[in-house]
Amino acid sequence: PVQAVQRTLMGLGQMVTINASLDAETAELLCAEHGIDLQIREPESIEDTLLNQIDDKVDADEDLLERPPVVTFLGHVDHGKTSLLDKIIGLDVVSGEAGGITQHIRAYIVDKGEKKIAFVDTPGHEAFTEMRARGANVTDIAVLIVAADDGVMPQTEEAISHAKAAGVPIIVALNKMDVPGANPDKALQQLSQHGLLPAEWGGDVEVVKTSAITGEGVDTLLETILLTSEIHEYKANPSREAVGVCLEAEQESDRGVLAKLIVNNGTLKVGDVVVCGSTFGRVKAMYDTLNPRIRLEEAPPSTPVNVTGFDEAPAAGERFYVLDDIADAREIAEMRASRNREQHLGGHTVKISFEDFQAR
């Protein structure tokens, strides 16, 4: 009853009318006095409201169309990830790499017959374990590259646990079959010991023997990828606003920030307003990741694309969202940036584990 409430408040030294607002502390005292259970909620931030809405959006079955699989190459350094991808794409990136070590995340989408496949090649050096872990997050299928002359090595083991944690199917490419010291049986044995029992030994892991030099097995590897993809029926809704992940980004002197994004769902378009971590922008231009001279108007699901238009370089691994209103995007980005600054000043470092990352 109003009068009982007013009496209690008077006892707390507050003379209030029936329309008054109470501060949280007074409300708590009042409720305690009347035996009422009170929960105080902060108003939801625009970040939570808008982005949760997007995350929670369920696509109608009739909107879901087949999309290309996103395939990540994982494995020990020097086992041939970059070379195999070069062979598939018909490029030669490996011979131009500093110290033969991949510094950038490469991501391409290629036509294979009727179908498309998106490939992500991650830096293979141990120092980039975290980045590699992130690579598996956007992944539908992990191709584990194991050099047949070297067998399972420490980073192979890491890659196996990353792929298992991500819950994605694993295809093994037993590479360097052309090398005289190749010992495929030993490698298969080691893989079995790590819980990857080859199909030829009665298990469920497809193993393809390859050589990035002679090209042996490359077509079979592609067929195996497409078969795995058919079984899993990867789908997305190309008619919604895009969501996806920033693979990497850098400040380029001539065209500002260039961000490599991969679209998980929806279609990214030139002119779209995007927020990604603590950065935002309007997509100014999009370029094919294989041929930077090809400008794209649209990037459908599973497409990696180089994007200009961000105010600053977003961090690798951040999710991006397309919003209707650039003011909202700016507000979310600025809020996150100031939160990052606070955390930074407070001396906290925010380290994201692979499991957290998976959960995003």
Binding residues for GTP: 75-82, 121-125, 175-178
Closest separation in Å from C-beta 171 to ligand GDP: 16
Binding site for Mg ion (CB under 5 A): 81-82, 102, 124
Which residue, 16 or 91, has its beta carbon nearer to ligand GDP?
91
Does 82 contact ligand GDP by CB under 6 A? Answer: yes
Q: At what angle do helices 218-232 and 81-89 cross, to 10 degrees?
A: 90
Closest separation in Å from C-beta 77 to Mg ion: 7
Cross-strand bridge partners of residue 241: 267
**The binder of ligand GDP chosen from 78, 248, 312, 331 (CB under 6 A):** 78
DSSP state, 60? P
Closest separation in Å from C-beta 216 to ligand GDP: 8
Cα distance between residue 94 and residue 85, in whole Å: 9
Q: Which residue has the tokens 């052309």?
A: 178
Closest separation in Å from C-beta 169 to Mg ion: 22
**The binder of ligand GDP chosen from 67, 79, 106, 209 (CB under 6 A):** 79
**The binder of ligand GDP chosen from 72, 83, 289, 306 (CB under 6 A):** 83
- 238 to 94, 179, 180, 235, 311: CA distances (angstroms): 34, 44, 48, 9, 26
Closest separation in Å from C-beta 182 to ligand GDP: 9
**The binder of ligand GDP chosen from 122, 137, 139, 211 (CB under 6 A):** 211
Does 77 contact ligand GDP by CB under 6 A? Answer: yes
- Partner that binds at residue 156, options ligand GDP, Mg ion, none, CB closer than 5 to 8 Å by kind: none
Residue type, 65: L
C-beta separation of 261 from 281 below 8 A: no
Q: Which residue has the tokens 């606070």?
A: 342
The site that binds ligand GDP (CB under 6 A) totals a number of residues, namely: 19
Q: How many CA atoms lie within 13 A of 249 on its CB side?
A: 28
Closest separation in Å from C-beta 139 to ligand GDP: 16
Closest separation in Å from C-beta 288 to ligand GDP: 22
* Beta-sheet pairing, 141-147 with 170-175: parallel
**Binding string to ligand GDP for residues 141 to 180, with x set by CB under 6 A, is what?**
----------------------------------xx-xx-
Which residue, 149 or 241, has its beta carbon nearer to Mg ion?
149
Which residue, 213 or 315, has its beta carbon nearer to ligand GDP?
213
Which residue, 133 or 332, has its beta carbon nearer to ligand GDP?
133
Cross-strand bridge partners of residue 288: 305
Which residue, 8 or 190, has its beta carbon nearer to ligand GDP?
190
Rounded to the nearest 10°, the torsion over CA 18, 20, 23, 24 is 40
Q: Which residue has the tokens 């050099």?
A: 147
Binding-site residues sit at 75-82, 121-125, 175-178
Q: Is 49 helix (H, G, I), strand (E, B) or coil?
A: helix
Cα distance between residue 324 and residue 346, in whole Å: 34
DSSP string of 205-264, one letter each residue: B-EEE--TTT-TTHHHHHHHHHHHHHHHT-EE-TTSB-EEEEEEEEEETTTEEEEEEEEE
Q: What angle do CA 155, 225, 233 make, to 5 degrees?
A: 115
Which residues contribute to the site for ligand GDP (CB under 6 A)?
75, 77-83, 94, 100, 102, 124, 175-176, 178-179, 211-213
